Amino acid sequence: MVFHPPEGAINGNPQCGAQTSGNEACPQPVDQESDTNFIKRIVAGPGDKLSIRDGHPVVNGVEAKEPFIRPCGGGPSCTMPKTITIPPNDYFMMGDNRGSSDDSRFWGPVPRSWIIGEAFFTYWPPDRIGFL
């Protein structure tokens, strides 16, 4: 999906809109959206229960099978065992390069009103140009 992340997500200093314990993903974004466009996958939607195991989302108790992602590589952002609930009208986004992706784990779910639309074309890298 193409969307506007929360303000602060683009400057390398992501802010969570709620206090966290450190072993959970950010459950709520800050109130202000940025004017930058991001592209990430939706891994959980409104009302879903989410935790992260080895870089994979565990949604409503089921770990997602994602053979297309790059391994997370360890570290505190790879496993966040405490379950959060995605708020109504919000979506949890994660990048495919889980070890280096700045995503909803750090700045929270994205409100529906910040989503621009579905990505449908790849232009980088050049050897992967084409429709998704």
Instruction: For residues 100-125, give the mean pLDDT.
Output: 87
* pLDDT tens per residue, range 5-37: 998 887 767 788 888 887 899 999 889 999 899
What is the distance of C-alpha 20 from the center of its chain?
16
Task: Give 53's strand partners.
Answer: 56
Length of the chain: 132
Please give the angle made by the CA atoms of 4, 6 and 8, to the nearest 5 degrees.
Answer: 120
Q: Between 43 and 76, name the one with better pLDDT.
A: 43
pLDDT of 124 > 70? The answer is no
Q: What is the mean pLDDT of residues 34-63?
A: 95
Domains of the chain: 2-131 (2.10.109.10)
